[in-house]
Amino acid sequence: MLILVCAVGCVAPMVSRISAATSLSGAQGEDIGGSAPGIPDRMLAAYKNAVVGVKEVVPECRGMRWQILAGIARIESNHAIGHSVSAAGNISPHILGPALNGSGAGGNTTVFPDTDGGEWDGDPVYERAVGPFQFLPQTFRAYGQDANGDGVTDPHNADDAALGAAAYLCREGRNLKDEGQLKRAIFVYNHSDAYVADVLSWIHRYDEASAGAGELGQATGDVRTVLSAALAQKGVPYSWGGGNAKGRSRGVCCSPGGQDGRTVNGFDCSGLTVYAFAQAGVQLPRLAAHQAGVGTRIPASAGVGALKPGDLVFYGYIPTRDSTIHHVGIYLGNGQMINAPRPGTNVRVDSVSSMTDYAGGARIL
């Protein structure tokens, strides 16, 4: 609420204001293209429109992107899912927080007397947070914008609320490309370190989803099937020895770091590749080192530029010796791979360079 203030399957042991339908690019090269599963199209359009509109409202703002607004809205209202959003952006029924009467509901212990006569929150006694970005009425009065040009500034309108949130986050000319300034902006939105961490985690998920969706759009046939299957597992936890051709599973005990895969339903690195390729009718060996012997081997000396989407990406203690390969991912394109990194993480999109010991790849399809 805004207020004023690798696994058994992976490791081979060593011896021993814009059209809602358009993909956009904003001022000063701000990237506002991309998509994300779980966000209604009309809400995503509002976030993208706000990225463009905030350059007029706060000209000195830098680094605003739709993923930041989506991260906030995911926590505040889950993107208004369950509510109707009209073509004009009007949300019905209205999204209202609990009465801020100090009762502790919603975590609030401070009394906030009404400031809008119940105009936006329907409560003439106490304030309630309103709209998909959960503004207090007095805050929205200060930062809200008429983003859709209908002559009304309304926190229950997706466009107005998104642009108001962008203006609030960008105030004082923040550079949101800087992680420290981004964290401070989110903290001002809600004075909670846990809130900041939650929002950042969703921003990063939407960044990854956007990158992945762009590459998937260029893939066809079996390659698209494999990439789509792997991308659909993002967020699934890493499980030592987990995953098979049918999907996620509980693994085995125990990883070098001590994870008991039997307690985690998910994938290790090679379990993920086995599953993804099975969706295209390809049966891979279970171990990463053995997978290196399938298809056309791409040596590490050829560089990452030799990889194509859908290729396996390997990491080995001795890059020229397949028996030492300890990790595998699926190349997505543009230097990125779909990856189940290690115990304690989830399936995600990573840079190929995020791991050491690059050992080339294999082209299966």
pLDDT for the residue numbered 100: 87
Question: Distance between CA atoms of 132 and 93, rounded to whole angstroms?
Answer: 11
Q: Residue 37 has what pLDDT? A: 65
Which pLDDT value is given to residue 211? 60
Angle (nearest 5°) at CA 115 between 144 and 138 = 25
What is the C-alpha R_g of the chain? Answer: 24
Tell me if the bond preceding 254 is cis, omega within 30° of 0. Answer: yes
**Residue 216 contacts residue 224 (beta carbons within 8 Å):** yes
pTM comes to 0.54
Residue-range domain boundaries for the chain: 24-95+130-210, 219-363
List, run by run, the mean pLDDT of 10-residue segments along the chain (365 residues): 45 32 33 61 91 93 94 96 93 94 74 84 90 95 92 96 97 90 94 94 80 63 91 89 94 94 95 95 97 96 93 95 96 90 92 91 96
Q: Are 64 and 54 in contact (CB under 8 A)?
A: yes
Does domain 219-363 fall into CATH 3.40.50.150?
no
Whether CATH 1.10.10 fits 24-95+130-210: no
The predicted pLDDT at position 106 comes to 63
Give the C-alpha separation, 142 to 191, whole Å. Answer: 19
